[in-house]
Structure 1
Amino acid sequence: MKPAPHYAPYPLQPAPVYKRWWAAGLVFFAVLGALLCIWSLSSSEKVVQAVLFQGFPVAGGVAVLWAFCFLARALTYQLNRDNAACYSETADRITRQWWDEHRTGASLVERVLLAPSCSAPQVATDIRWDEHKPAVSNASGQGAAVRHPQVHGDDVQERERQLAVLLALQWHVQRQAAALAPQSCYWQGSMSSWTAFAAQATQSEPTLVLPERPELFRGIDTLDSIIDSMQGAAADSRVLCAGCQSTAIIEGSPVPAGEAAFLWVMAPSGGVRVCRGEWYDAGADPLAAVAERAMQQAGLTAPTAACVSFAQPDMPDLPACGWNLDTQGQDAHFGALPGLQGPVALTLAAMHVAQQGVPCSWLAADPHHTLALGIVNIP
């Protein structure tokens, strides 16, 4: 997970033992008093001179040295405590600022999801995924696949181009907002599929301006960057994030080949709140700690009732995170989507929040980390 600032305790000096200092001071002053008595009462000139020229300077020097050491010890102790207080205050302020930033999010104002289970427009907009029947896997000579009924052919790149066109068309059907001028665009998929998407989107929306080459979508790292760009941005600022994937059929694979396409329009406010989420790398932080941090980030004290998740066969200890992972298994709906699990899971979680009015968590594989997980909150 993203490391939070951590500061070791400031090294504290032990408090001075004042009783010892005062006892030493009394001894010094007692010696000085004795010398004064000898000097004033003695009739021997040698004794008087010895006390006057040797005893007094030595005793006085010792007394001055004691006073200097005492003041230096007390001063260094007080400075140590003042520095510790300043250090602690600064560390607390930096930690609070980090958490304030880490808890910021962005609003998902538009969302589109296309997949075998959500090919019809009314289904692609909102669906009760826990009540929907899984898509039927289409068996073939090479293996099983879950395919979109409006996408044809066996070539994966061609299927992705068709998905991109359908995504742009579905976006046009769902859009009710004014003209869109995204400040940045991210794409998950091939450049040929982006070209197909951009051509269809600009044909459907002539006022829409899309770049020739979008930025590459990099999973939860890109989500973090998008949320950063939304902080302090103008109310009409928008970021477009979309992508599509069609996976090849693998004979003997326990999960059928799948395909899907998604689209987000992110804004500073105006829709369900997408938290930054956390990433998990095997062998680093415990998964339970990462899940706890994700809840803390969203301001929750208990796991959400629903969690959109994909199966992770390489992680048998996945239930250790403590989330309700078995309530919304999505592999049967979407098939294998190694590069698109995160966006699909987050989009489904956003649909759940919009329908139910309660937070929903999501967990999926990530292109650059073992897992990504997060929470979509109510506006």
Structure 2
Amino acid sequence: MTPLPDFPPYAQAGKPLGKRWLSAGGVYLSLVAIGAVLLPEANINAGLFFAVVLIGAMAGLLCFVLRLLYYQLACHNAQTYQRHANQLIQQWWEQHRQWAALSEAVLIGAAGTTSSHWRRLLKHAHAMPTARIESAGKAIRLLRSFSLTREERECQLARTAAIQWHEQYGADPGADLLCCYWLGSEQSWISFSEQLQKLSPKIVLPGQPEKWNGVSGLNEAISRLNSAGDDAAILYAGSQSMPASASLTLPAGEAAFVWLLKKNGKVKLYRGEYHQPELKEDIATAASRAIKQARSDHIPEDCFLFSQADMTVLEKTGWPLNQYIQDGNWGYTGEIEQVIVQTLAALRCEITEQPVGWIAGDPQYPLALGIVKPYGTRK
């Protein structure tokens, strides 16, 4: 993402000090008066003396006028600089506030696979998945998946996501499919695309999709969508299964998803923000920027997240952190955790018609966060 332009303040020229110039003029007149008194005794030509006095006075006046012009020109340059800087910042915000409509969303996990499952989860009316013991540690797995290897599980999850998308929406991205972004291995992408081809032979997917890359990839997708035609669409999908390990604080988890991004849909998915502690930026600043990005005027009442390394830092955002923590529903899911909370936030937003926040890890940044808004909002 292109960072917010930072323009240093324009070096202002000092204002001409009128008293100083008047004092200099007074001193000059005093010297002229003294010279006029001493003129007869010094045997100096009076015409020459007053010519020199006049030239000196004109030179002083010219210096004052030039100094005044320099100050006015410097003020004009400062105003032009600030106006241009404000225009660039405004253009940056206009682009930064672009969004994509989440037209269709499918989420696959141990806690559910259908919209009705996720609606129960949002109401806290679902049964929490039970972690099972594997040879290397605990894991939360989709019950219908019996594969043992990670690659097989990811392929099976990808096929399940394709089937669910077809059952739920018909799996028809339309003729203007700009591109596909995939989170996961090449083999799982092949399984996903082959399953879709069986279900919907008219679908033409690329042999090599774009790589999913967290908020940076979402930014890229939103930019591409906003520069395309009204019927354009982008397919966002992925499949990830984490291997069990005794070193994990949470059971290993897995998930798959399918998004169809368009210019009209159910909710607005904004670009999102990221936190970079190495730049000494407080996380509250990033959270405020996310609110401003979504053209919102208050902190979201609901927020979906997984537990992060330092939850005390997240408390500085002021966002609600305890109502929708997803650790128990998914376990440790790796990079796909960002998509999980974004999807659940979108579903919650669709139901409540209120802005909903999300917080997650990111492949490039320690933390990412953003807001989902109802599609029917004015901006």
TM-score relative to the length of structure 1:
0.91
- Over 3 Å counting, the alpha-carbon distance change for 1:286 and 1:121 in structure 2 is closer
- RMSD of aligned residue pairs (Cα, Å): 2.4
SS at the partner of 2:45? helix
| Aligned position for 1:287 | 283
| Aligned position for 1:210 | 205
| Aligned position for 1:91 | 85
Cα contact 1:359–1:375 (8 A) shared by 2: yes
Larger-gyration structure (1/2): 1
Displacement after TM superposition at 1:26 (Å): 5.1
| Aligned position for 1:191 | 186
| Aligned position for 2:106 | 112
Mapping 1:219-258, distance limit 5 Å: 219-251=214-246, 253-258=248-253
| Aligned position for 2:162 | 168
| Aligned position for 2:55 | 61
Mapping 1:264-279, distance limit 5 Å: 264-279=259-274
Q: How many residues align?
A: 373
| Aligned position for 2:319 | 323
Report Cα offsets for 1:237-263 as digits up to 9, x if no partner: 001110011111112532111110011
SS at the partner of 1:317? helix
Corresponding position: 1:136 with 2:153: no
SS at the partner of 1:163? helix
- Over 3 Å counting, the alpha-carbon distance change for 1:87 and 1:270 in structure 2 is same
After TM superposition, which residue ranges in structure 1, 4 or more long, deviate above 4 angstroms?
A: 26-39, 124-127, 176-179
Report Cα offsets for 1:124-179 as digits up to 9, x if no partner: 68852543332111233432111111111211100110111111100101115855
Structure 1 residue identity aligned to 2:11: P
SS at the partner of 2:239? strand
Structure 1 residue identity aligned to 2:354: V
d(CA) in 2 for partners of 1:176 and 1:155? 30
Cα contact 2:173–2:233 (8 A) shared by 1: no
SS at the partner of 2:224? helix
Identity %: 33
Report Cα offsets for 1:291-321 as digits up to 9, x if no partner: 1211121122332111110011355533222
| Aligned position for 1:74 | 68
- Over 3 Å counting, the alpha-carbon distance change for 1:122 and 1:86 in structure 2 is same
- Over 3 Å counting, the alpha-carbon distance change for 1:183 and 1:19 in structure 2 is same
Cα contact 1:307–1:349 (8 A) shared by 2: yes
d(CA) in 2 for partners of 1:236 and 1:149? 38
TM-score relative to the length of structure 2:
0.91
d(CA) in 2 for partners of 1:247 and 1:116? 13
Corresponding position: 1:3 with 2:3: yes
Cα contact 1:136–1:146 (8 A) shared by 2: yes
d(CA) in 2 for partners of 1:128 and 1:194? 29
SS at the partner of 2:335? coil
Cα contact 2:172–2:203 (8 A) shared by 1: no
Displacement after TM superposition at 1:121 (Å): 6.2
Cα contact 2:117–2:126 (8 A) shared by 1: no
SS at the partner of 1:229? helix
Displacement after TM superposition at 1:103 (Å): 1.4
